[in-house]
Amino acid sequence: MAKPTKNPRPIISNNISDASAQVVLDGLDSGFTIDDIAPSKGPKLRAEKQFSQENLDELVSLSDRGAPIPGQSLMNNPEEPYSWEQPPEFTNPREALDYVVSLMFEPEAMKNIIISLSKGAAVIDIGVAILYSQFTTGKINPDVLLMLVEPVTYIIMAMGEEANIKYNIEGDDLDEFDDEETDEEEEDLKDEFKNPLSNIKEKTLNKGIDKSKINSGVVPESILAKVEESSPEIKSILNKGEI
């Protein structure tokens, strides 16, 4: 594109999905193409989920170790509470988001996130793991945690896109968006096929043809008789029929 036709529109929203959709639509409206906004970088690396016996074993061993004894937390010394039992460090979600995002943008962290994306870890799982660790270290409370899931998801998605990885969003859904695409394409094709037929029908009905003016001798009677013979006899459901 040569030059945007207008300046960006000021946008404000309470959720990042809506805000980014509005920004993208505004960009398209200003003369950008999708390729300008999301430049293609060639074929993406498919982040297939890989089975790892070692990881599975670790998970099993973790569950084997059992859970805390009921009431165990009540036996703790009140003078030494857990980090998450104390007031969180960040109560303002803006500050918490800045903190978490700045940690994520550290080169080492970014590298680890990209590695895990490429190994098939889902975006939401990584985001939740990051936020959960912040909760357990007493940085944020559960309410702020839940508020940050969406923006953190977007940051991880952007990292995945920059690294040119075809990533899972939630669980194992690598091709989910593409599958939907084929479904949508099929629907579009069906619509395209249906449209001419319905157009003919509509046009015919709208022409206002007077039946009395139709010339009855156009179709030979022998052909009409054949049609009548071959067509099934339509009976009313109230018809007695043959006994």
Partner 1 sequence: MGLFKSIKKAFKKVGKAVKKVVKKVVGGVKKVVKKISSSKILKALAIAGAIIITGGAALTAFGSTTGLAATKFGTWMMSTSQSVLGGTAFGSAAGKSFIPRVLTQTGNFVAKVAAKPFGAVGGAIGSTARVGANIFDPNQTLFQSGPAATGPKPFSGAALSGTGAPPPPAPVVPGTPPVQTYAELNPGSLTGNKWGDYVVGGVGSVIGGVATGYAQQELLGGDPRGVDAPLMNESKDSLGALQVYASNNNFNLNDIYGQLTYGTADPGYIASTELYTQDTIGVPS
Instruction: Tell me how far apart the alpha carbons of residues 163 and 135 are, in angstroms, rounded to a whole number.
Output: 28
Cα–Cα distances in Å, from 174 out to 8, 54, 221? 33, 23, 63
Quick one: 94 or 211, whose CB is closer to partner 1? Answer: 94
- Nearest 5°: phi and psi at 46? -80, 120
Instruction: Tell me how far apart the alpha carbons of residues 197 and 78 are, in angstroms, rounded to a whole number.
Output: 77
- Minimum Å gap between C-beta 189 and partner 1 is 13
Quick one: 177 or 193, whose CB is closer to partner 1? Answer: 177
Quick one: 70 or 232, whose CB is closer to partner 1? Answer: 70
- Minimum Å gap between C-beta 68 and partner 1 is 6
- Minimum Å gap between C-beta 146 and partner 1 is 6
**DSSP code of residue 3:** -
Quick one: 94 or 240, whose CB is closer to partner 1? Answer: 94
Quick one: 106 or 202, whose CB is closer to partner 1? Answer: 106
- Minimum Å gap between C-beta 88 and partner 1 is 14
8 A C-beta contact, residue 164 and residue 41? yes
Instruction: Tell me how far apart the alpha carbons of residues 168 and 157 are, in angstroms, rounded to a whole number.
Output: 9
- CB-neighbour burial class of residue 162 (10 A; exposed 0-12, middle 13-18, buried 19+): exposed
- Minimum Å gap between C-beta 205 and partner 1 is 29
